[in-house]
Structure formats: structure tokens, C-alpha cells
Chains A and B, each alone.
Chain A
Amino acid sequence: MTDLLAIGTRKGLWLARSDDDRRTWMLDGPHLLAQEVAAVSIDTRLPTPRVLAGIQYGHWGPTVMWSDDLGTTWEETDHGAIRFPEGADAALARVWQLRPDTADRPGVVWAGCEPHSLWRSTDGGCSFELVRGLWDHPHRKTWEPGGGGGAVHTVLPDPASDRVTVAMSTGGVYVSEDGGNEWEPRNRGITAAFMPDPLPEYGQCVHKVAVDASGPDRLYAQNHFGVFRSDDAGGSWTSIAGGLPADFGFPVVSSPSTPGTAWVIPLVADMQRVPPDGRLRVQRTRDAGETWTELGDGLPDASWTAVMRDAFCADAADPTGIYVGTRDGCVYASADEGDSFTLVADHLPDVLTVRAVKLP
């Protein structure tokens, strides 16, 4: 069996393969050289895996491309897989997230984009339709852009119901229970230090949300200051930042198989986006955020880099593998849930996104 790790960077895509259960990796690339790859996914529901990439052609604009031969050739839709309809008075600025849905929803792929918008494809990512329920939400025009732009960056379709959860910077967490028609903010308890009301209904800068393996109602959120957990599908949130060296950061990743297990990578603060003490470290909880353990075997000291919100992921293997990509172009893989890491690549452009799967 081959494990495949897709690494999207500021200037292209690399694919790493492991044929020895993730102990060593062979790097292949660059693909899409000189294109920014801010979103990537590997759709293993198809007979041959499809690599989907949300790219930015620098001068020539953003689009979605796909490869059905693991990067050898790439295709795109003539008129653009994602394009705002006439009358929307908006143009796609960046694809932030590509999320294939479950196996029993073949062809369905979700995309989160800038400006704040959610899209749904039923043809495997070749073309997408704007989810009007979120686009037409009366709150939308008050969602501010974060430092990287205003975007839907997290899309979490529930495999067992019509619930879809999204997170936005800024805007916060919104949930639809009917597949995307009606949306409501679910941010109670999440702080917004940059707003006059520190506990607003919406407007928070939630950097990433992950679903716990116990079920769809337990969520983790890495916020712009604060790490939170919800046990009621976002209805309310409580801090789980106690025990962390800092509560700022971008990604949060949950185990797909072990309830209560999740990982974050703290940075000092929003005005100091570097690891505490200049040591790149992952923090892991085994008890849904009650306690945290620092993990650093194989990660660098004297490291003043950062990890972006999608440059951290887990695979679906047992034990869970986790993967860290840094802004200084390094990628680290752990085949033992973070107990130890090995270097997959270094000297790449800054890493924006990583995704890992076991090839069928």
C-alpha cells in the first residue's frame, strides 16, 4: 500500500509517497510550478484517485485544476470551475478549501473560497455551484477580511445528516442543518479580542475547526486567541486552552478514529507569530482538551517559522499519521500520532496546505 502526501506551497505542488507504512518518503515535484496552491485534496472515492488543487496563477487569476494521474497531467474547466454568477458582483479571489464529501455522496465536493463563499460540486470538482443560502445571508456583508483575506476556509459536511459546518476569517462558525439553505452563527463562548464586544454573536476570527471522532456534535476550534471545544455542534463553546504554552495559532487537527484526540501548534501571539521559545512543537490532547502534551521528537529547535491553518493534517491510518508543513518550506511526518517526526522535505516554498491519504 502506498501513502500519498500532497504538499501545496506558495509556488507549486509536491507529492510525497511512502511504500513502507510512512517510515520514509519519496518526493515528486514540483507540479504546477510557480502557481500558488492554497488548497489541495485527494479524492479516493474515484476508481483512480483525483488530486484537486485550488491554484492562483499569479497574474492570471485563481481556479481549480485536477489530475487523475497523480500529477502527470492537469485539467481545468474552460470557463472556470468556480465563477460567481452574473449579478453577484463578485469575482473569485482564492480557493481556500476543497473537501470531497463522503463515499455515499459520489461526486460531491465542497469548496470554501474568498470572498466569503461556499460552493458545491456534484461532478467531482469540475464545476461548482454557489451555495446561495450562505451568500445571501444578511450577515455576509459585515464579515471582515482577516489578514489573508476574507474567506470560508473550513468546510465540514456531516456524513450522517444534512448538516454542514463552515468557519470563516472573519465571521466565525456558521452551521446549516439542511444542506446549505439556512444558516445560523454558532459562536457563543468564542472570543473576539479585536471587537468592542468580546463575545459577539458572530464576527470572530476562527482559524480552523475540526470534528472529534466521537461524533459530529463535538468540535474543536483554534481561534484568533483561544482554543475551544463545543459538545453541542457549535451551540456553545468552552475554553480548552489551559495547559497550552500559548492560545494563538492557526490549525487544529482531530483524530479520525480516536475520540478525544486532537493536535494544535501554538504560536506566541497575533503580533508575534512564531513558536514559543523558537521551538516548533505540536501539542496533543487525549482527553478532548482537558490536558495537553508537548511533542517535539524530530521537530526543530531554533525555529522561527509558523504553520498555516491548512498546513497540518491527519491521515486515516492506524495509528494516525500527522503531517506538518512550515512557512520555511519544511514538511514533517509522524506515523505514531505525533510521538516522533521525520523530515519529508525541506527548502520548499512556504507550505500552505498538506493532505495525506492511503491510496486504494
Chain B
Amino acid sequence: MTVQVLLPGVLAALAGGAKHLDVEPAGGTLADLLDALAAEHPLLGRRIRDETGQVRRFVNVYVDGDDVRFEGGLAAKVRDGAEVHVLPSVAGG
């Protein structure tokens, strides 16, 4: 399966400048997708998740428009052809 990951500009530099990435996860969950992403782009993976594997507090991930926090978190289902947005939250100072 192939999933399209859409990155904000600030993270695209960690993926060779690409804002759209086609990723082929080994399974059908968000964790599988992020594992595959981190294997290819370790710095990018670390910006999104901490070393326990949790998505960082101020990073939002949407699968086909749905916030994964309300869709099972890392266990959220990711279908073949899904569109996954990674975005910074509105936190800051």
C-alpha cells in the first residue's frame, strides 16, 4: 500500500525538500506509517515522535482529514491511498 504524507515547509527540509511523500508502510496503522517514515527520514521521524514512540504534544496528525487523537492515536487505521497531514499545533510563544 502507498500513503501520501503531506508536510509543512519547516519539516520538508528534513525530507529532501519534499512537501509530499509517498510512503509504503508495512501495515495499516499510523504507527506503521510513522515507522516507515522514520526509517527513511530519521530526523523527520524524531520531530514527529519522541523516543517512546508517542506523537509529540504539539504535533497534529490528520488521516484523511480526521485528527488521529480521536481515531485511536497510533493505532488509527490508515488505508491504501490515504492522505496524512502532519501539522504544528497553534502552540507557541
Contacts and interface: CB of A to CB of B under 8 A. Distances in A.
A59 B93 CA distance: 11
Contact of A58 (B11, B48, B54, B92): B92
A78 B42 contact: yes
B50 A60 contact: no
Contacts, number: 44
Contacts of B69: none
A91 B47 contact: no
A76 B47 CA distance: 12
A360 to B, nearest CB: 32
Interface string B82-93: 000000110111
Classify the secondary structure of A's interface with B.
Answer: loop
Contact of A91 (B51, B59, B91): B51
B36 to A, nearest CB: 16
A61 B59 CA distance: 10
A59 B42 contact: no
A60 B59 contact: yes
A347 interface: no
The 7 closest A-B pairs by CB, nearest first: A91-B50, A60-B47, A78-B42, A83-B51, A59-B58, A59-B88, A91-B52
Interface of A: 10, 57-61, 63, 76, 78-80, 83-84, 89-92
18 contacts: A10-B93, A57-B47, A58-B91, A59-B59, A59-B88, A59-B89, A59-B91, A59-B92, A60-B47, A60-B48, A61-B46, A61-B47, A61-B50, A79-B42, A80-B51, A89-B52, A90-B52, A91-B51
